Amino acid sequence: MVSIGIDVGSVATKGAVYDGREILLMEVIPTGWSPKETGKYVLEKLKERGKLLDDQIIAVVATGYGRVSLPFVTEKITEISCHGKGAHYFDPTIRTVIDIGGQDSKVIKINSQGKVLEFMMNDKCAAGTGRFLQVMANALELDVSELSKAGENAEPQRINSMCTVFAESEVISLMAEGASKESIAAGLLESVANKTYSLVSKISVEDKVFFSGGVSKNSLLVNMLKKKLGAKIITEENSQLNGAIGAAIYGWERKKK
């Protein structure tokens, strides 16, 4: 018997299969234009890979901004709760979670069972999110995955605006003035670190912080946050799937109760 979690994000849709002890399977694909079709595809892909029959699946839980578009799931749970539960799966001693996704960023405080005690969320605009970095990377004619390496040994260029539209214009102006791509890349990541630090400072931080979401793959940003927070930043190879993992675990726990 297993439960399945599906996290439909603005950039990627993730899926995870849980058997009550461990995560057995995971899947990540671009969300594309139809969250409903992508979510359905991820579910079918996981069933195919795991050779799962419908009567072996006790729950299918959806989370993420696109969860409302999935009529075939058994339950829909907010991503705040799922990210807390997922971080607890990776490390039960974690009490603070930072998640930076495609269109929002959030800081979550959890208890010893992975339940949410408090959270702060930046969802007014794309400032400091994966979308922000994607647009800035395009302006620099880089792939977003290249920002970390580009800015690794550069002195950060000051970026004054966190608005995606204004920051893009600022980046173009800086390049026209002769600033290097490397210094601009470092400056952009530092601006995201500062924005995240501002959000985190509104919630008490423990000595360890779990960093999830696609942006957590950026090693330079991880190091910047570590210095600013004065805390150990924990991230995993599969931390992008944190929400889907948490959703799968919630599905299992609720059905078993």
Q: What is the CATH number of the domain that holds 217?
A: 3.30.420.40
The whole domain housing 15 covers 2-124+196-256
What pTM did the predictor assign? Answer: 0.92
Q: With respect to residue 71, please indicate whether it lies within any of the assigned structural domains.
A: yes
The answer to whether position 135 is within a domain reads no
Contacts of 42 (CB under 8 A, 6+ apart): 6, 13, 14, 15, 27, 29
Above 70 in pLDDT, residue 19? Answer: yes
Q: Is residue 183 part of a domain?
A: no
Sign of CA dihedral 135, 136, 139, 141: negative
Q: Is the pLDDT of residue 247 over 90?
A: yes
In a domain, 129, yes or no: no
Q: Cα–Cα distance between 209 and 233 in angstroms, integer?
A: 5
Decide if 242 is inside a domain: yes
Partners of residue 106 on adjacent β-strands: 99, 121
> pLDDT category, 196, cuts 50, 70, 90?
very high
Instruction: Provide the pLDDT for residue 124.
Output: 61
pLDDT at 225 over 90: yes
Contact 232, 209 (CB under 8 A): yes
Q: Is residue 103 a part of any domain in this protein?
A: yes
Question: Is residue 111 a part of any domain in this protein?
Answer: yes
Q: Does position 257 have pLDDT exceeding 90, yes or no?
A: no
pLDDT score of 125 more than 80 = no
Residue 201 lies in a domain: yes
Q: Which two tokens stand for residue 187?
A: 């400056």
Total domains present in the chain: 1
Q: Is the pLDDT of residue 65 over 70?
A: yes
pLDDT at 228 (0 to 100)? 93
